[in-house]
Structure 1
Amino acid sequence: MALKKDKVIHWLLQFCLAQLVVTLISLPLLIAWGLPLSYMTPVSNLIFTPILSAFISLSTLLFICELLSIPAGWIIYLLTKLTDLWLFVLNFGSIHWLFGITCHHQILLWLCTLGTIALLFITQYCTLKRQVLYFGIYLAICLVYFNLIAPPHFGTHQMTKNKASLIIKRKDGATYIDDQGLLQQRINQRSWAVFTFRPTLLKFTGSLSIEDITCNHINPSTLQTLLILFDYTIIKQITLNLTKTQAKKNKALLELLSKKSVVHNTYILLNYETPVWYNHKKMGEYHEKIYSARAAHTDANTQHTSIDNKARNTSTTAKFKR
């Protein structure tokens, strides 16, 4: 019993060491390419390693059976069930498990890789427990430095194509996105969201959380892209500046967006008064006029109410005097 326990502990230590080394080697590449990391990586690898091994073994057997013309219906059945199990477990995944790291100077990323290689040579004669300890400490130092010590990017980053643009703004620890027509030009929205937008967002902000997305040019492509972005980012608010005509034309997509926003706890603001030629300066003046008009209306109502109250009080006093 003690021997089995020692074997299990030894296997777990080997697994932890392999996980730490792979994470440290791949960390600079993931940061440079703008790919997210997951808090559940160690657990998921522990779960999927046996499933992946079984999948590869069954696939190899199926290939051999096909070469030798041996019936392999039972292998196909097992592969199907194994794939169903894989997909079932994947359904429990959440985007909230993912996190990103801001892409800093390339020299720091190279130093991280060189440090990992140097540590491999230095600890090759150490015990397995010490190797796990040293690599764990080194990974913790790298993550703390990239996330806490190194200053994050602030300001704005602009993505442009065909005179259209999308501005990513980082302010007070929150990310704001202002779309100036770029989302309406997307043909393959999912490909753009996964391979262009998300890496750019992670490189600049180090986060998949978006405080607000403001869209100023609305068409079906814009709304379809927003629907897809729900699967790859955490959106807290979407502001759509559109006319009532645009709202009628895209009613079905707006309803889908509304339903999905409820699932993802996202607030959608529809601004129907906004002109199609949305402009920050003119929009600011527009809101100032609205607020001034509301304030004047409120003051007028208050003044009118006070005059009415005075008149009523005077009338009541006159009646009592009589």
Structure 2
Amino acid sequence: MMFQLPSWSYDPPYSGYWHPVTSTINWCEEDYYATPYAAEIVNTLTNLMFVILAFKGIRNCRRHGHDTVFLVAFVGYLLVGTGSFLFHATLKYPMQLVDELNMIYTTCLMNYATFSYSKSRQYGFTLALALVSLAIFITLYYHYLQDPAFHQAAYGILTAVMLARSMYVMEFSLRPSLRKNEENFRLHHKKSMTADQKEVSRADDLRNAKILSTMWILIITGLSIFLSGFGIWQIDNIFCSNLRHWRRELGLPWGIILEGHGWWHLLTGIGAYYYLIWGIWLRHCLNGRQDEYSLVWPSILSLPEIVRSEYSHGIVEPNFARKIR
């Protein structure tokens, strides 16, 4: 006789408190099978990942004095999670707009932070006007079409452009800047450098190399987590009927493991958090403040933070991401 995990069966759907469904899209999770007060209970509760990490990021920005644009970005990240929570709880069209359009607006904000750095005030104003116009166009056209594929394409393009630009800045602005600073130091002190100064220079070279390598580890980790969530969500879309059958065979609570859109929330929430932390660290390094801040990342299973260096004393990190000072 095969061993079976203890479970209970899925009940017939409740009469939903928010019925009828008015959203233009519904997900693979069955509606109102657990409670009448949340249409999709797993898809609703997994958005708490965004809320928790948003408050973590907001607190970190306020405590350690990161640029205001990242504080605003974490507020936007919080609104994305809150909007998605309300959307999946109600499956109402207005809540769908709150969820999906917040994703567009927050990504536009991060594009502004990425493309406006070190540019003139006039350039920044023009860029802001262009992004606001784009956000308004996406809002109106999406409301007209009511086609989720349009929103997903717009969000994907904005995210890809933002990532590509950030990676370009890291490699073609930050890397040459760090190298130039060291070369200038050696040029001006070549004849008068003491043995201690040469040792400091070598240590700075090593630190700069670690900064860039750790940045790549950070963004690749975040992007891998994000894309894993996207992949699981696509499996959820393609094999929905099979997954629903398997969930009912497993029973509760084990069937929850096969809720692919819930995994999308968890993994993309973590992946987006990694991107914001990477953006903060990149901005501080571009500003030449890498001595004032440290990337604290105790293990691959923990979440990274950027803290003022005086707060990071005594924290030991593993070899994959040593603390950079």
Give your verdict on TM over 0.5. no
| Structure whose CA Rg is larger | 1
TM (norm. structure 2) is: 0.25
Structure with the largest fraction of helix: 2
Structure number with the higher strand fraction is: 1
Give TM-score scaled by structure 1 length. Answer: 0.25
